[in-house]
Amino acid sequence: MLIGLDYGTTTSLAISWLDGRPHDEGRILSSVYICNDGKLFTDETAYRNRTSSDGRFVRSPKSKLHNHEQEAQQLVCATLVSLFSNLNLAEKEDVKITLTVPNAWKDQHYVDMRNCVYEAAEQALGHRFDKDNFTIIPEPVAAALHFIVNKRMDGDKDTNYVVVCDIGGGTTDLAVVKCEKYREPDGIDLVFEVACPMDGDPKLGGDNFDEALMKYLLPDGVPAGVPEYVVWNSIKVLKSQLSTQDFAQIPLMKADGTVLLDAHRRPKLLKCTRTEFEGLIKEYLNRLTTMLNILANKLQNYDSTCDLSQVYLLPVGGSCRIPAIRETLKKVFNAMLCDMVNETEESFDSIASGAAFYSAWLAQKVSGYRAIEITNRLPHRLAIKHGDNALETWVPKNSPDGKYSPKMLHPIHMNPGGETFQIGKIQFFQGDGDFILENRNEHLKCADITIDEPIYAHGRRTEDIPVRLEVIIEQSRIHEVVITVDGGRENGRDFKFTKKIDG
């Protein structure tokens, strides 16, 4: 079974792929409720307990991963176990997963999230989870991949730009994905590149729109007798209705299932016009406009020949149904909106669906596409520190998987007598800082290695004994380290040290 996984701030979605097409989907709220006795509730159960005094509610464990908190990883695992359990999977089939992550995530986010998926999949799926075939791709690439392979683009060029606007519950992410097609007799080669990545806005999302509606319609708070989760669900329904009509209203329901009545014994209604709603979110629309203008400038700096009116605008996320959001997109780019809405369920599932397709392509379960390459897939930089000296060579940011050979490393720990030396401890850092010890770089303790074996100098000075070091990168992590010293063995043969890094 092949799975595409989109773990969101508010909602998480997994889509399975079977027999050449999407098979089943699981969708849950990403929230977790932690009882005082340590018991965890996920999905709707967590949401319904959000105001309970018997524990605490965590709306978005994903947003806490950047602190590398162990509790955040446990909560993410709990939601993922629930999500996998909701999928209708054949018991004996191996499960291969493609995870999508925000393009702006740093390396440690990748590592933490990958480890959460590993643990959750092993709990929910056991030995069926194929760890060796797990992969990670950026969310905008998954959305663009879904669009390219599912939407017929008559007369499209060999090079296309897809502008992805992903407005989730808690965050808005924007990116331009460059897609290049190479038509071959036996299929099409696709190359995807996140040409203009941007940091997401964690204060611009559907939840912000809900809160604005809530304060406007219920300035005195939730009425007595009405559960808070019922009010929030009603707000979401009202917001959805305003995407298709100029006026919407919905009655408030009490805990016993009856309609709340006002002082005149009439049903208490939440009601709003589209004009009123757009006025409430005007501040957020302005922020979105600013982000889109920055993205447009980035694209024109990236490719001065690009006509902004010819890009494909791909709205992702439920809030992209809102007419004012769509108008804001078209105002900046003046291009065609390319909705990938499921016609029967009206659900925005481009990211998870694109990831599921990528899993299927890796497993050679789809035809028509000979090769799919994702360049600049993993935003990371790597630095190496030896003793008190830091090597200045980095693995370039956004490098794909592969081998990297930094500058020569000269040993500094010569043993008494000068006959042998030791390399000692090598430390690894990843991040996006401009120099090795900048606070934006993470020290990867799991990758530290120590080589205590004596290496023979054979009369050479330490500065004349280069140590060649290769680092193999896979899925935004150091997968393997190979260190070679010419003539470093006692018998004059080369010294070679290889270590796989599990972390």
Q: Do 371 and 387 reside in the same domain of the chain?
A: no
Q: Count other C-beta atoms under 10 Å from residue 35's C-beta.
A: 13
| SS3 call for 68 | coil
Inside any domain, residue 304: no
Q: Do 86 and 214 reside in the same domain of the chain?
A: no
Provide the residue range defining the domain that includes 26: 2-151+345-375
Q: Count other C-beta atoms under 10 Å from residue 229's C-beta.
A: 16
Q: pLDDT at position 234, please?
A: 93
Number of domains in the chain: 3
CA distance 205 to 267: 31
Rounded (10°) CA dihedral 8, 10, 16, 21: -90
Q: pLDDT at position 17, please?
A: 82
**DSSP code for 223:** P
Inside any domain, residue 293: no
CATH of the domain at 110: 3.30.420.40
Q: Find the farthest-apart pair of alpha carbons in the chain and give their distance in angstroms, rounded.
A: 100
Angle at 354 between CA 101 and CA 88, to 5 degrees: 95
CATH of the domain at 243: 3.90.640.10
Residue 199 pairs in a beta bridge with: none
CATH of the domain at 434: 2.60.34
Q: Do 20 and 117 reside in the same domain of the chain?
A: yes
Q: Do 403 and 273 reside in the same domain of the chain?
A: no
Each residue's pLDDT tens digit, 409-463:
666 556 666 788 877 777 777 666 666 666 766 676 666 788 888 889 898 877 7
Q: Do 11 and 138 reside in the same domain of the chain?
A: yes
Rounded (10°) CA dihedral 37, 43, 46, 48: -150
CB 453 within 8 A of CB 443: no
Inside any domain, residue 466: yes
Three-state SS string across 123-152, please? Answer: HHHHHHECHHHCEEEEHHHHHHHHHHHHCC
CA distance 50 to 361: 41
CA distance 386 to 406: 12
- What is the rounded radius of gyration, in angstroms, for the C-alpha atoms of the chain? 26
Q: Do 368 and 402 reside in the same domain of the chain?
A: no
| SS3 call for 348 | strand
Q: 360, 375, 390 — which closes off a domain?
A: 375
Q: Do 74 and 116 reside in the same domain of the chain?
A: yes
Q: 282, 304, 328 — which closes off a domain?
A: 282
Q: 230, 256, 282 — which closes off a domain?
A: 282
CA distance 454 to 452: 6
What type of residue is 199?
Answer: D
Inside any domain, residue 131: yes
Nearest to 482 by CA among 469, 493, 500: 469
Inside any domain, residue 265: yes
Q: Do 39 and 80 reside in the same domain of the chain?
A: yes
Inside any domain, residue 184: no
Q: pLDDT at position 395, please?
A: 55
Inside any domain, residue 317: no
Q: Do 24 and 129 reside in the same domain of the chain?
A: yes
Q: Do 232 and 257 reside in the same domain of the chain?
A: yes
Inside any domain, residue 326: no
Q: Which residue has the tokens 């980095």?
A: 394
| SS3 call for 361 | helix
CA distance 80 to 74: 10
Q: Do 82 and 41 reside in the same domain of the chain?
A: yes
Q: Which residues in the chain land under pLDDT 70?
A: 66-68, 89-91, 106-108, 152-157, 340-348, 376-402, 406-417, 430-438, 440-442, 444-447, 474-478, 502-503
Q: Do 34 and 140 reside in the same domain of the chain?
A: yes
Tokens of 53: 């005094």
Q: Which residue has the tokens 């990758």?
A: 447
